[in-house]
Amino acid sequence: MQLDWIDDILAVIDTGSLAQAAERRFLTQSAFTRRVRAIEEKLGTRLFDRSRKPVVALPGVRALEPELREMSARLRRLQLNLRVSDSQAGEAFTLVCQHAITATISPWVVRQLTARGEASVRVRSGNRDECLMMLLSGEVEFAMAYEAPDERRQTLVRGLEATALGADQLVPVAAPELAAQAATGGADHLPLIGYPPDVFLGRVFGQYIVPRLPETMVLSLKAETALTLAALEYALSGIGVAWLPRTLVAGHLTAGRLRHLDGLPEQELSITLTRLAGPQHAHHDALWRDLAAHPEFPGVLPG
């Protein structure tokens, strides 16, 4: 199945007219009609009921419409990737970031890399374990993720090298109305936006935040998500209190859309850059040094 065939079929489905589909495909109606007939001959089946106005796709074609649209999109992405790889062969650099960092710190990294002349920076996203697996499998050059205090010595996989780029903080925030309720005496019962216990921020919350909460405080789980961007939206909607990276909520705190809940525990997190240990390409070594030493890193500095 050729991309042109798929686009011709979708043009008829979208317009319901051979004439309008021909215009969309920059052909005369007679030339487009011949192309549709040629496609049907190649496939050995009719595609459209031309006796009806507007022209309608036959049931078998309608059933395959979602697959045709997906295939068209995938083939176009493949064409683009092939063009990029041909024009920038050997110049692409791939970085994977923990989900929360992708939205906040990765733009800074991409800016630094492209400023050095990198033709293409591919940024992938995953949970922290997925980031390390991509690094170990050779799918990416660098991985960037959060680490809790003293965690690197305990968990860093042999064969990996890491450097701390800076720091962030996991801070309790809530929508203004909910924060005001907590400040006026409702803090003993806390509606919570939580993380699953098997994800990194869920483990940090359970290990470092919960033990430092007031003994009289009752947590009422209102929503649970592994995605910090989703937790942010839930907090903005007033659903509950969320512990979120300060880099993610700084703008909302400044604008007053969220408020920091004083008196509740916070947790410092390191932002760590990791790569495979051992001899490296000289170019990648230079990138590593530049990222580690750059004075404008946007993370929250300790203290």
- Residues 240-261 pLDDT 10s: 999 999 999 999 999 999 999 9
- State whether the Cα torsion 272-277-281-286 is positive or negative: positive
34 pLDDT exceeds 60? yes
Going by DSSP bridges, is the β-strand pair 160-174/218-224 parallel, antiparallel, or unpaired? unpaired
Averaged pLDDT, 152-168: 71
Nearest to 191 by CA among 230, 224, 229: 224
Boundaries of domain holding 116:
88-164+270-293
- Domain end position, chosen among 38, 56, 86: 86
The whole-number pLDDT of residue 192 equals: 95
- Domain end position, chosen among 86, 119, 141: 86
Whether 145 and 281 map to the same domain: the answer is yes
Q: What is the pLDDT of residues 65-111, one digit of tens each?
A: 888 888 888 887 777 666 655 544 445 688 899 988 888 888 888 88
Averaged pLDDT, 32-61: 87
Whether 191 and 263 map to the same domain: the answer is yes
Q: What is the pLDDT of residues 204-225, one digit of tens each?
A: 999 999 999 988 888 899 999 9
The whole-number pLDDT of residue 97 equals: 92
Whether 37 and 81 map to the same domain: the answer is yes
Tell me whether residue 300 is in a domain: no
- Domain end position, chosen among 86, 111, 135: 86
Tell me whether residue 42 is in a domain: yes
The whole-number pLDDT of residue 89 equals: 47
The whole-number pLDDT of residue 155 equals: 45
Tell me whether residue 58 is in a domain: yes
The whole-number pLDDT of residue 281 equals: 75
Whether 279 and 139 map to the same domain: the answer is yes
Tell me whether residue 298 is in a domain: no
* Token pair listed for 170: 């996991």
Whether 281 and 203 map to the same domain: the answer is no
Tell me whether residue 303 is in a domain: no
> What is Dmax (Cα atoms) for the chain?
80
Q: How many domains does the chain have?
A: 3
185 pLDDT exceeds 60? no
* Token pair listed for 16: 């319901």
Q: Tell me the pLDDT band of 161, cut-offs 50, 70 and 90.
A: confident
Averaged pLDDT, 18-29: 89
Percentage of the chain exceeding pLDDT 90: 30
Whether 193 and 262 map to the same domain: the answer is yes
Q: Tell me the pLDDT band of 51, cut-offs 50, 70 and 90.
A: confident
Whether 38 and 122 map to the same domain: the answer is no
Whether 80 and 94 map to the same domain: the answer is no
* Token pair listed for 98: 């923990």
Tell me whether residue 262 is in a domain: yes
Whether 73 and 155 map to the same domain: the answer is no
CATH code of residue 217: 3.40.190.10
Tell me whether residue 59 is in a domain: yes
Q: Tell me the pLDDT band of 64, cut-offs 50, 70 and 90.
A: confident
The whole-number pLDDT of residue 303 equals: 35
Which string of DSSP letters, residue by residue, matches the chain? Answer: --HHHHHHHHHHHHHS-HHHHHHHTTS-HHHHHHHHHHHHHHHTS--EETTSSS-EE-HHHHHTHHHHHHHHHHHHHHHHHHHHHHHTTTTEEEEEEEHHHHTTTHHHHHHHHHHTT-SEEEEEEE-HHHHHHHHHTTS-SEEEEEE-TTHHHHHPPTTEEEEEEEEEEEEEEE-HHHHHHIIIIITTEEEEEE--TTSHHHHHIIIIIGGGS-TT-EEEEEEE-S-HHHHHHHHHTTS-EEEEEHHHHHHHHHHTSSEE-TTS--EEEEEEEEEE-S---HHHHHHHHHHHH-TT--SPPP-
Tell me whether residue 301 is in a domain: no
Whether 107 and 184 map to the same domain: the answer is no
The whole-number pLDDT of residue 1 equals: 61
Whether 14 and 70 map to the same domain: the answer is yes
Average pLDDT value for the chain: 84
Averaged pLDDT, 31-39: 90
Whether 117 and 256 map to the same domain: the answer is no
pTM: 0.65
CATH code of residue 29: 1.10.10.10
